[in-house]
């Protein structure tokens, strides 16, 4: 949930901001408002910051605090006869092309220092993205603590939001649901793979799902309902008919792993663990998303412990 700055002071702000700059937060000391530096900041640096946040789904620019410190400096209330908020609103909007309007500027009092305050600029996701910095004639996006030139694929994703339904994998988790281990029978693992998908476009996904493919040539793993081997590639459709813009949903895919019966027990589960590395792509009615690499049992010790618990609990 986005923070409510309307009743905050800097003491409250310290409770929610990170200690150093991140993809979502950038800090600038009040020294940039010095008359000898403010003009250069607006012309040469502000457009890069605005472009990066506008092209990365939003974020926060805190004016009046240096990176890595917990103290604040007063930000002037006016630029000439114009309030600083109104002045910055115009400069921010015109620092990129097309002009950017999806932001708010809040003034927060500095705790224990009457009549002194800082500014927080909250950037929101822009339907007009990508935005190009006017000064740099370049497009930027956010990395932790930095605004860097945006790669071509990132710009294409932003442009595609207007014409394509773009889905992204946000999180992948698994649960080992059961273990079948009978004497003279191969080890069989049952796994629930939970994949959280978000619609990052401006269009609704009316038909969507996941494409799973095993990275290694190994025919022990399959999707339970279809019994198709993951190495051949499997499409899993959602029961939800529509995924709205900005909506997230978790899709559960049930997998089954059958070991080679000619191997010893330890070799069986090690073989299953070693060969379940997946490439997961979200798919909509008109777009195939960027693949996410996921190694199911990255910790052999964790899998061994889980299997042991199941076997002992029988």
229-271: pLDDT as tens digits: 888 889 988 777 789 988 999 999 999 888 877 877 777 777 7
pLDDT band of residue 209 (cuts 50, 70, 90) is very high
Percentage of residues of the chain with pLDDT beyond 70: 93
pTM: 0.61
Q: Among 12-16, 34-38, 60-64, 155-159, whose mean pLDDT is lowest?
A: 155-159
Q: Which helix (H) or strand (E) holds 1?
A: none
Of the candidates 289, 295, 300, the one whose C-alpha atom is nearest the C-alpha of residue 173 is 295
What is the C-alpha separation between 98 and 277, in angstroms, rounded? 42
Based on the domain organization, do 185 and 153 belong to the same domain?
no
Domain count, the chain: 2
Based on the domain organization, do 201 and 268 belong to the same domain?
yes
Based on the domain organization, do 146 and 225 belong to the same domain?
no
The pLDDT of residue 153: 86
The pLDDT of residue 305: 67
222 has a pLDDT exceeding 80: yes
70 has a pLDDT exceeding 90: yes
Domain CATH number, residue 172: 2.60.40.10
201 C-beta neighbours (distance < 10 Å), count: 24
121-136 mean pLDDT: 91
14-43 mean pLDDT: 95
124-132 mean pLDDT: 89
Domain CATH number, residue 44: 3.30.950.30
Domain residues for 56?
A: 5-160
Helix intervals (H) in 163-299: 265-274
The pLDDT of residue 278: 87
Q: Which of 145, 160, 175 is the last residue of a domain?
A: 160
When comparing pLDDT for 222 and 72, which is higher? Answer: 72
pLDDT band of residue 310 (cuts 50, 70, 90) is low
């Amino acid at each position: 949930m986005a923070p409510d700055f309307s009743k905050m002071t800097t003491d409250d702000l310290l409770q929610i901001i990170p200690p150093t700059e991140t993809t979502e937060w950038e800090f600038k000391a009040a020294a940039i408002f010095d008359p000898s530096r403010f003009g250069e900041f607006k012309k040469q640096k502000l457009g890069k910051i605005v472009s990066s946040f506008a092209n990365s789904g939003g974020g926060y620019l805190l004016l009046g605090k240096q990176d890595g410190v917990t103290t604040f400096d007063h930000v002037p209330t006016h630029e000439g006869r114009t309030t600083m908020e109104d002045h910055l609103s115009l400069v921010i909007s015109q620092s990129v092309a097309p002009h950017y309007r999806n932001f708010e500027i809040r003034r927060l009092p500095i705790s224990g220092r009457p009549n002194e305050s800082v500014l927080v600029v909250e950037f929101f996701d822009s339907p007009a993205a990508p935005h190009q910095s006017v000064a740099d004639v370049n497009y930027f996006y956010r990395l932790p603590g930095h605004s860097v030139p945006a790669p071509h694929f990132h710009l294409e994703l932003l442009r595609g939001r207007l014409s394509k339904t773009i889905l992204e994998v946000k999180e992948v988790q698994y649960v080992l649901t059961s273990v079948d281990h009978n004497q003279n029978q191969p080890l069989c693992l049952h796994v629930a793979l939970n994949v959280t998908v978000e619609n990052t476009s401006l269009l609704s996904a009316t038909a969507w799902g996941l494409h799973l493919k095993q990275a290694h040539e190994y025919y022990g793993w399959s999707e339970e309902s279809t019994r198709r081997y993951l190495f051949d590639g499997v499409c899993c459709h959602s029961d939800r008919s529509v995924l709205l813009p900005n909506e997230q949903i978790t899709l559960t895919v049930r997998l089954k792993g059958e070991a080679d019966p000619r191997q010893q027990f330890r070799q069986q589960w090690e073989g299953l663990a070693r060969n379940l590395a997946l490439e997961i792509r979200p798919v909509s009615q008109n777009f195939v998303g960027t693949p996410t690499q996921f190694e199911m049992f990255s910790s052999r010790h964790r899998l061994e412990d889980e299997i042991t618990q199941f076997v002992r609990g029988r």
